[in-house]
Amino acid sequence: MLLAFASMVIVVLLVLLQLTRLGFLIRSTIPDRPRRRMFIASVSFLITFIGIRIVVYRIVNHEGRLQWVMVHGLHIHHLVWGILILLLVGYGWLLDLGRSHSPLSIFFSRLMSVGYGVGAALTLDEFALWLNLEPDAYWSSAGRLNIDAIILFGSLLAVGAGGAPFFGALQRMWSKRSLFSGKLVSPIRRVRSLRRHKFRRLPPRIVP
């Protein structure tokens, strides 16, 4: 289930980046390499991390039909999937995929950015198991909540810093859409829009 969720995050984000107006805004407002890659990776990291936390919580508390991935009685932690994804992304960067401006190269660039964020989230989610390989250390670590807070806060900062031009463009697009769609808008915004259409004052007449 965790691997299926990670794959769904990759597919959904790639569709949004490739085929929607949201992706066009990201391309037109955030410069490529490294800011755009960092922004896409931060968004995918944040979404994956929150989703994995919810799925793991439901599995641990036996909610629904979700179960761990077991192969011949061996529990495959999602840390393993995260490491494999990061290895594939690193190999792709060694091959210089996503460096040119062709459509296929741009697709690989986005794929590796999203994959890096997803792989990092899967790996860091089991940070407690990096040095302590006991499965119970996943929840029993005293500093686990601090690690979660730091990672989530860092992700939000990265998204806000890297995507500031995108959020500004999104706000301007939404403002224009509200002004001209005939919907109810705030009086302050309506007054600001009307200021642009004021008549110019005529120069004073000179009486001979």
Each residue of 140-151: pLDDT tens digit? 554 565 577 677
Burial class (CB in 10 A: 0-12, 13-18, 19+), 5: middle
Same domain as 141, residue 91: yes
Domain that holds residue 188: 170-197
Same domain as 184, residue 126: no
Same domain as 192, residue 96: no
- Supply the pLDDT for residue 89: 93
Same domain as 151, residue 185: no
Give dist(CA 199, CA 102) in Å, integer: 48
Same domain as 77, residue 101: yes
Does residue 51 sit within a domain? yes
Same domain as 158, residue 187: no
- Supply the pLDDT for residue 158: 79
- Supply the pLDDT for residue 54: 84
Neighbours of 113 (CB within 10 A): 25
Same domain as 181, residue 93: no
Nearest to 50 by CA among 154, 161, 125, 131: 125
pLDDT digit string, tens, across residues 82-106? 999 999 999 998 988 888 878 888 8
- Return the structure tokens found at 142: 């005293």
Give dist(CA 89, CA 169) in Å, integer: 30
- Return the structure tokens found at 207: 């009486």
Question: HSE of 203 in the Cβ direction (CA atoms, 13 Å)?
Answer: 2
- Supply the pLDDT for residue 85: 93
- Return the structure tokens found at 91: 């190999």
**pLDDT tens digit at each of 208 positions of the chain:** 777 888 898 999 999 988 888 888 888 888 777 788 888 888 899 898 888 888 877 777 777 777 767 677 777 778 888 999 999 999 998 988 888 878 888 889 899 999 999 998 888 877 777 766 666 556 555 456 557 767 777 787 778 767 777 777 877 878 776 655 555 445 445 445 545 544 455 555 565 5
The whole model's pTM is what?
Answer: 0.70
Buried b (16+ CB within 10 A) or exposed e, 74-104: eeebbbebbeebbeebeebeeeebbeeeeee
Does residue 208 sit within a domain? no
Contact assessment for residue 42 and residue 158, using Cβ atoms and an 8 Å cutoff: yes
> Who's near 118: CB < 8 A, 6+ residues apart?
6, 9, 10, 44, 45, 48, 82, 85
Same domain as 148, residue 180: no
